[in-house]
A and B are shown apart, each in its own frame.
Chain A
Amino acid sequence: MLDKTFETPKPKVIAGAKHDWELVIGLEVHAQVTSKAKLFSGASTQFGAEPNSNVAFVDAGMPGMLPVINEECVAQAVRTGLGLKAQINTFSAFDRKNYFYPDLPQGYQISQLYHPIVGEGEVFVELGDGTARLVRIERIHLEQDAGKSVHDMDPNNSFVDLNRTGVALMEIVSRPDIRGPEEAAAYVTKLRQIMQYLGTCDGNMQNGSLRADVNVSVCRPGDYEKYQATQDFSHLGTRCEIKNMNSMRFMQAAIDFEAHRQIAILEDGGEVTQETRLYDADKNETRSMRSKEEAHDYRYFPCPDLLPLEIEQEWINDLAAQLPELPDAKKYRFINEFGLSNYDANVLTAETQNASYFEKVAQGRDGKVAANWVINELFGRMKKDDVTIANCPVTPDQLGGVIDLIASGEISGKIAKDLFEIVYTEGGNPAEIVESRGMKQVTDTGAIEAAVDQIIADNPAQVEKAKQNPKLAGWFVGQVIKATGGKANPQVVNQIVAAKLAL
């Protein structure tokens, strides 16, 4: 199973004008739950529909409408919690978070402040350099998403679409265990991967299915270790929250900017004010969301429309028993079962469809060879055409067929690449293509001898040179393989050339 004897990454250090500083980052990831209907209504969650067409009167905040919880959304939150090895709470409850905004017609968001459905868990985050960090999860709670405002359709008005209003969100809150922008991106990537495996969130950042609020503070080297020893936050700096990051690249740029901003304030003798900030990608800066500050008193109270959510341990056990294999487990199985390198196993398990494609190819074949073909030839070719595994023109059986023909010695590695290209562009059964197009490797010594004789006869000067310098035999081997259209078995050619030249 998972090897947790890993080396942790070094925290990112930023040199200020006066001292060195370290970053401390915690994330609140908002993941849209994959479900057909909304958290508390029967309206569809489908993205990209006509504005206000996926809206029930509950979502529109019409008077007298009552929320009724969607059981599948609860199950999805439980699955996510199980995937993060977290405590699942059999008792949780909903609270109202009160604020006014045009895309929130109820005037409050139904959330879970006091009794979240999922408690403490953990995420194993690997960095590219072989280090890894175990990021602690504080909690996951279920809540309603807000609607969407469009600001560029009219100079004087904002246009509001409530299709997203009431779609279930999981807010996944981490502890401040993340120590640099790259780590933050790796953490979100890993969370997304786990949820995609679980089928609980599609992870599409562009469509807003996954957004992150990033809490950033800076401290002097040594202070974080004091926090770790005591869990006392007073050792850490004052944090600012950057809202609504929906791109890994911008998230990293925003963290970097925000850290430098805080360092400049502190080195100037000032104090960082705890506040909510927005990142402006065009200007690459964060700025205060002053409007949010005044309304920051959310006056939470238990939602009187909803009884507490009580779930049975037996139901949780059933969901646990049906969980798919998760990324870490799959990766270690690939390493152990197929002998893959850590790198190859990471590439192949990044997405669950890729992993299952590879497994079909590797079934009954050499795992490393299969991995090479899938990663280098197939993924390389797909990347060139901007194709994903879902619409890849080569089936695992076809690719396996190509690999089998190399293994049986029927085609050379070089011909195999040509064959792959034919299968990729034209389709067909690899063995039949080899047969019908005469691509079989020539191991018939007679044919090869004839070709060698011909080359020797045509190039007397090269023959003389080769007799002085035996390394030039390679030139003859190349000529013979070329003359046979790449079909001659190189080993056989080598032997015959050496014999004929009497080297």
Chain B
Amino acid sequence: MSIDTKTAGRVAKLARIKVEEADLPALAQEFTNILGFIEQLNEVDVEGVEPMTSVTPQRLYCRNDAVTDGDQQAAVLANAPDAREGFFAVPMVVE
């Protein structure tokens, strides 16, 4: 399977990664190579094999329903380029 430059551009846009027009062919080639590897893996017969979700036999760890975190407005906002009155201030987004 081969990825064209248009698809590569779309993937970059969906991921909000800026890619210069001139760099798209190389990116598309990289995607094509990755997919080629995946296709190679697809040749392995996995009929009847359960997908493996963990390398160690463990179950999903659960927490109790208790408030143990939060109450740290200043820390949460510390890295924000712009924060006012306890909010993150971002460029206007209106539907």
Give me the interface of A with B, judged by CB distance under 8 Å.
35-37, 41-44, 50-58, 60, 68-74, 93, 98, 100-102, 149-151, 153-162, 278, 289, 291, 295, 297, 299, 302, 306-310
B interface: dominant SS: loop
Q: 13 other contacts beyond A36-B66, A37-B63, with CB at 8 A cut-off?
A: A42-B70, A54-B70, A57-B76, A69-B62, A72-B64, A100-B16, A149-B93, A156-B92, A157-B90, A158-B91, A307-B54, A307-B58, A307-B59
Residue of A nearest to B94 (CB): A151
Number of B residues, CB within 8 Å of A: 35
CB–CB A159/B87 < 8 A: yes
User: Contact residues of B with A, CB < 8 Å?
Assistant: 14, 16, 53-54, 58-73, 76-77, 82, 84-95
CB distance from A3 to the nearest CB of B (A): 38
Q: A53-B86, A308-B53 are in contact. Are A162 and B76 (CB under 8 A)?
A: yes
Secondary structure class of chain A's binding surface, majority of residues: loop
Contacts of A58 in B (CB 8 A): 69
Contacts of A74 in B (CB 8 A): 62
> Which residue of A42, A151, A157 is within 8 Å of B82 (Cβ)?
A157
What are the residues of chain B within 8 A of A50 when measuring CB–CB?
A: 73, 86
When chains A and B are docked, how far (Å) is the Cα of A73 from the Cα of B89?
A: 31
**Which residues from A are CB-within-8-Å of B53?**
93, 302, 307-308
Chain A residues closer than 8 Å to B68, beta-carbon distance: 37, 42
Which residue of the partner chain, among B14, B67, B73, contacts A42 with CB atoms under 8 Å? B67
A-B pairs with beta carbons under 8 Å apart, 15 shown: A41-B69, A42-B70, A55-B76, A69-B60, A69-B62, A70-B62, A71-B65, A102-B88, A150-B87, A151-B92, A155-B92, A161-B86, A162-B88, A278-B95, A295-B14
Q: How far is the CB of B66 from chain A (nearest CB, A)?
A: 6
A157 and B86 CA atoms in complex are apart in Å by 14
Which of the listed residues A55, A70, A161 has the most CB atoms from chain B within 10 Å of its own CB?
A55
Interface centre among B60, B62, B65, B92 (most CB of A within 10 A): B65
